[in-house]
């Protein structure tokens, strides 16, 4: 049942030009950044062997690429998730799902899986760029795997927030703007931690920041605490979405 | 009784803030029955339909579909339910076929039977020709049919149709009505509408709801009896005296109407038509018109919904209606 809804969601995305243009734009921008990074690496290359413990191509090209990808997708994901539920509410097609013998969690999970499949396609396309480096070089697969996992978890968190915001409103634009707002806020929570010198409150804020956990994974440090942070984050927003939809239907 | 009732609504209330949209609603729908749910705009029809359809929570009370509480076991209850809301829930970017495949899947029709279910729904709703067209490009009538196809695709025992003929042209309305009658052969149907002929032509039972309260619940036969003629309108070329007319057997009252006709009132069991015709021939009154006057459902409806505040005194209202006709 989850996959039926996910399939419909994915299909709906690809039926509109939005998904295609998003894929194209993201790929274009990241490709440009990727090439610029390779250029930088080429300039650096002659000096690298002389340095002790010098960074490899993975650190110089791949890690910044994934860092930039996270930033760009922070802007893009709200546009993909904004229609998930709000569009159905606006077109009054939600009754179809509500009157069918499906549980609310299947509906929400179906939508989430659908949008995650799309983001996974995007992630694979991004991943393809570093993999082309294998033609003339070797990569640090550990770092690459950790960074990919990080980006995947980050995207899933974005999508979960987007899904929840979309369940709150009937206007896709409002869903997009508020998703973006929440994500950006979670992103820059880190600043408070960096600026203040050692207050307890700011430590907590910094720890809550969605960015900090990603940075660790990006460096190739796989800490299960970071992964659990993302899993918890995703679960919380999915449960909130289920509760939100259930509230329309059940007794309060 | 409860064995055979597919929908049981018990003491249903729904508040929108201060506004009470549905007030203490109780009714049952039996197997194979078509229930007409009538009411003026804003009477609470759609609210009730949405609650039964599992789309809206009641503030109090409960709804059983085939004996299963829709709040406690929604998945089980909804398997027996087909719902067409006021606005058909259509994905406009899909073709009719794609849409129905999706509906078949979310209604848990086993994969092996999906093909057959879709084909039969399409055939019954007259959609075979348009299967490959985009829903967005269909006319409103066809979109409505797709909506009905969606509601019956999994052969539920209960089909809820919320104002299925709104905004259609007269020919489409006839087609949709024929379709509803066809659906009713196999399913129980609850039809909400404010169009009265629709109820008279397709329903077995009528319920009138006004300001959230149930004000009438009768079978269509009972309704017909209620609508039975108790007056005749006759036109005569040479007018006899009133007393002469009153002396005809069975005539209870005589009243002159403006355009030269006469309204004859009579008791429930004594139709004086035959006697009047005999007398007219014998005395050369020149009878050239004799029409039984019937109350239409419309009058009953207007009557009940407009005088809801003092809803008692059925008989008085009947007399009043006779004059208005």
The answer to whether residue B214 scores a pLDDT higher than 50 is yes
Which residues 133-152 in chain B show a CB within 8 A of chain A? 150
**Dihedral sign for Cα atoms in the order A85, A88, A92, A98:** negative
- Rounded to an integer, the average pLDDT of B240-250 is 79
Query: Could B55 and A15 be called an inter-chain contact, meaning their C-beta atoms sit closer than 8 Å?
Result: no
Residue environment code for A104-125, b if the CB has 16+ CB neighbours within 10 A, otherwise e:
bebbbbbbbbbbbbbbeebbee
Distance CA B234, CA B41 (A): 38
Q: How far is CA B218 from CA B57, B154, B244, B314, B317, in A?
A: 27, 30, 40, 14, 17
Q: Calculate ∠ Cα B255-B256-B260, nearest 5°.
A: 150
Q: What is the pLDDT of residue B273?
A: 81
Q: Which residues in chain B are classed under CATH 3.40.50.300?
A: 5-224
Q: How far is CA B14 from CA B131, B164, B206, B263, in A?
A: 39, 23, 22, 47
CATH entry, B229-293, from 3.40.710.10, 3.30.70.100, 3.30.930.10, 3.40.190.10: 3.30.70.100
Q: Does the ipTM exceed 0.90?
A: no
Of A209-218, B11-20, B183-192, B314-323, minimum mean pLDDT range: B314-323
| Nearest CB partner across the interface for B85, out of A5, A95, A249 | A95
| Nearest CB partner across the interface for B90, out of A93, A97, A250 | A93
Can you identify the CATH homologous superfamily of domain B5-224? P-loop containing nucleotide triphosphate hydrolases (3.40.50.300)
Distance from CA of B5 to the nearest CA of A (A): 20
Query: Could A96 and B54 be called an inter-chain contact, meaning their C-beta atoms sit closer than 8 Å?
Result: no
- Rounded to an integer, the average pLDDT of A43-72 is 85
Query: Could B54 and A103 be called an inter-chain contact, meaning their C-beta atoms sit closer than 8 Å?
Result: no
Distance CA B57, CA B50 (A): 9
Share of chain B above pLDDT 70, in %: 90
Average pLDDT across chain B, whole number: 81
Average pLDDT across chain A, whole number: 88
Taking contacts as CB-CB distances below 8 angstroms, the residues of chain B near A94 are: 55, 89
What six digits make up the tokens of B62? 């409960």
Which residues 97-126 in chain A show a CB within 8 A of chain B? 97-103
Helix (H, G, I), strand (E, B) or coil at B65: strand
Q: Which residues in chain B are classed under CATH 3.30.70.100?
A: 229-293
What six digits make up the tokens of A141? 């697969």
The answer to whether residue B83 scores a pLDDT higher than 90 is yes
Q: Mind listing the pLDDT tens digit for each residue in B274-295?
A: 888 888 888 888 888 888 776 6
């Amino acid at each position: 049942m989850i996959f039926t809804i996910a399939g419909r969601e994915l299909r709906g995305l690809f039926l509109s030009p939005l998904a295609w243009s998003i894929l194209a734009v993201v790929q274009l921008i990241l490709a440009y950044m990727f090439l610029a990074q390779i250029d930088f690496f080429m300039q650096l290359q002659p000096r690298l062997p002389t340095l002790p413990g010098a960074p490899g191509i993975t650190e110089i090209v791949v890690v910044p690429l994934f860092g930039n990808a996270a930033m760009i997708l922070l802007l893009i994901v709200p546009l993909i998730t904004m229609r998930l539920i709000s569009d159905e509410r606006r077109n009054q097609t939600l009754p179809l799902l509500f009157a069918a013998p499906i549980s609310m969690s299947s509906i929400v999970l179906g939508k989430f899986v659908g949008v995650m499949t799309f983001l996974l396609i995007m992630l694979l396309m991004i991943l393809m760029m570093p993999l082309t480096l294998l033609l003339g070089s070797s990569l640090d697969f550990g770092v690459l795997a950790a960074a990919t996992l990080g980006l995947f978890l980050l995207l899933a968190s974005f999508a979960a927030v987007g899904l929840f915001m979309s369940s709150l409103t009937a206007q896709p634009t409002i869903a997009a703007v508020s998703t973006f707002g929440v994500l950006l806020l979670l992103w820059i929570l880190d600043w408070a931690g960096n600026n203040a010198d050692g207050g307890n409150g700011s430590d907590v804020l910094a720890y809550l920041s969605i960015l900090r956990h990603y940075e660790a994974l990006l460096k190739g440090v796989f800490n299960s605490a970071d992964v659990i942070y993302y899993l918890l984050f995703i679960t919380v927003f999915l449960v909130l979405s289920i509760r939100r939809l259930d509230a329309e239907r059940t007794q309060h | 009784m409860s064995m055979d009732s597919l929908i049981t609504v018990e003491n249903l209330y729904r508040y929108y803030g201060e506004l009470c949209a549905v007030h203490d609603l109780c009714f049952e729908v039996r197997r194979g029955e078509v229930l007409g749910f009538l009411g003026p705009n804003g009477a609470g029809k759609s609210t009730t339909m949405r609650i039964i359809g599992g789309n809206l929570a009641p503030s109090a009370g409960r709804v059983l579909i085939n004996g299963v509480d829709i709040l406690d076991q929604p998945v089980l209850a909804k398997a027996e339910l087909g719902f067409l809301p006021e606005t058909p829930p259509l994905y406009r970017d899909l073709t009719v076929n794609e849409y129905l495949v999706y509906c078949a899947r979310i209604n848990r029709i086993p994969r092996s039977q999906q093909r057959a279910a879709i084909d039969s729904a399409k055939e019954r709703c007259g959609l075979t020709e348009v299967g490959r067209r985009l829903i967005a490009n269909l006319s409103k009538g066809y979109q409505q049919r797709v909506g009905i196809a969606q509601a019956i695709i999994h052969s539920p025992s209960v089909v809820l149709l919320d104002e299925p003929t709104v905004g259609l042209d007269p020919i489409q309305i006839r087609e949709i009505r024929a379709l509803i009658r066809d659906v009713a052969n196999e399913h129980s149907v609850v039809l909400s509408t404010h169009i009265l002929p629709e109820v008279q032509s397709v329903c077995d039972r009528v319920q009138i709801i006004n300001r959230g309260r149930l004000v009438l619940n009768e079978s269509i036969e009972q309704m017909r009896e209620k609508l039975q003629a108790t007056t005749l309108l006759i036109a005569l070329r040479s007018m006899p005296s009133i007393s002469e007319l009153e002396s005809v057997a069975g005539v209870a009252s005589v009243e002159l109407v403006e355009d030269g006709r006469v309204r004859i009132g009579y008791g429930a069991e004594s139709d004086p038509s035959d006697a009047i015709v005999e007398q007219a021939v014998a005395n050369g009154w020149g009878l050239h018109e004799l029409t039984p006057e019937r109350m239409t459902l419309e009058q009953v409806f207007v009557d009940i919904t407009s005088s809801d505040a003092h809803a008692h005194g059925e008989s008085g209202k009947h007399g009043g209606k006779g004059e208005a006709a």
